[in-house]
Structure 1
Amino acid sequence: MRKTLALTEATPELSGLSQSEFLSEYLKETSLNNLSRITVDIHLEEASTEEIIEHLKVLIPRWKRQLKMKSPAPREYRFGKSTFRKIIEYRLIPMMDLIFWGEDNGIKIPLSLISSLLHEDSDNDRDEGMLKATDYPLAMAFLTDASYLKSLEDYMMENNHLKDSPVEKHVEDDRNKKK
């Protein structure tokens, strides 16, 4: 069970503490343990984006230390440009669509049929063995393992400047740099 703290009506003492300093002092003095969530109001008009980010970079580790929080487990899967390349080259999205369609209709589509449907006229011919060893497990991981989606979210946040670029173009540019 997770505990949550929300300081909605709390105001700093007249001693001149900022709200973030007040929250830090409050956490220290109350000795709350096992708290996993803090709700913080950010007054966006009072500081620039960069200032808010810098404050949070300092405050969040401090609050985690004060609350004796454990570090999150490292991601088991790292999402990157090579993953985008695999999604395109292995045609994982159409494969996931076929897997969903099969599930909805109570049909197990043989990998040999998936291979011929997805890769028959492809420059990147992928036979049933390749699908069984690599493509199908990766598609199923994307469909069933939350760490894959969390890793994708992490990648998207780290590369927010690329959000308006088509994935195919992004991967193509990466390949051209290596040649």
Structure 2
Amino acid sequence: MKRIKSRKDIPWFDINNYDYIRNIDDIALLEEVIMRTCIYEHAGEGRIDKSGNSFIWSEILNGQPDTEQSFNNEPFDPKISQRSELKQQQLKVLSSNEAVNPVPCAMLDHYHSRLKEKENQQKLSAKDNEQEIIKFSYSDFMGDSSIICNIGLDNYTDDEILMALKHHLPLWRKDLNISEPKKRFIKPAEIEKIRDYRIIPFLDLMIWERDMDVTISKSVMATCVFPDGEIGEVDLANRNGKVNNLLDIILSEDFSVQKSTRNFDY
């Protein structure tokens, strides 16, 4: 594995590009962290290019780490835009995260293909079961751990929708035999540390390490993120250092930034 020993070997990184973090609120900050943890996981599996976040990562490498801005700038697939009479500014990418994600058009085609394949298998074994198949939920029928559902934004208030979700979530988990995962939620003090310790640029460098199969020396890492020496190589080299402690917490499997001890209105 190649070892990066010079700041010059990371030409895409500029800590000044991360100044926007000072001006975003806590919710937006946590969304930035969520995006990085997802891309970090994809990098570990060698599939950033095949993930839905590939454009976001390419924007980060092009000096645009503000993922909200990247969402707004994401181009259409040329093949789709040529077939569509709708102009680009008329279409929106809806707000989402890993827990709640409005199904994109491309995924509908994927779900349809999987469903037709499963239906054909079922019909071969039980031709008289065709009418029953259409009554089953996609999740149970396909053995999927995700729920695809409609949310009636025009007919129901936010409180009514939240009340319905609160009622149905435990029933869905029971029917699908999927227990609620145990999570260790982020604390308000840790949110402030994400800013103070510049965790987001650290995460971007760690993603790049995984994606490129390289190792950045601690001295170079410290120089990149803290060019004025506020946090140095010694802290980064210490597994119990304050930056590493927070990174370990954020990247642990049972950690969640979706909820904290502070009340957020999503």
| Structure 2 length-normalised TM | 0.35
Calculate the TM-score normalised by the size of structure 1: 0.48
Kindly indicate whether structure 1 or structure 2 has the higher relative contact order, using CA contacts under 8 Å at least 6 residues apart: 2
* Greater Cα radius of gyration, structure 1 or 2: 1
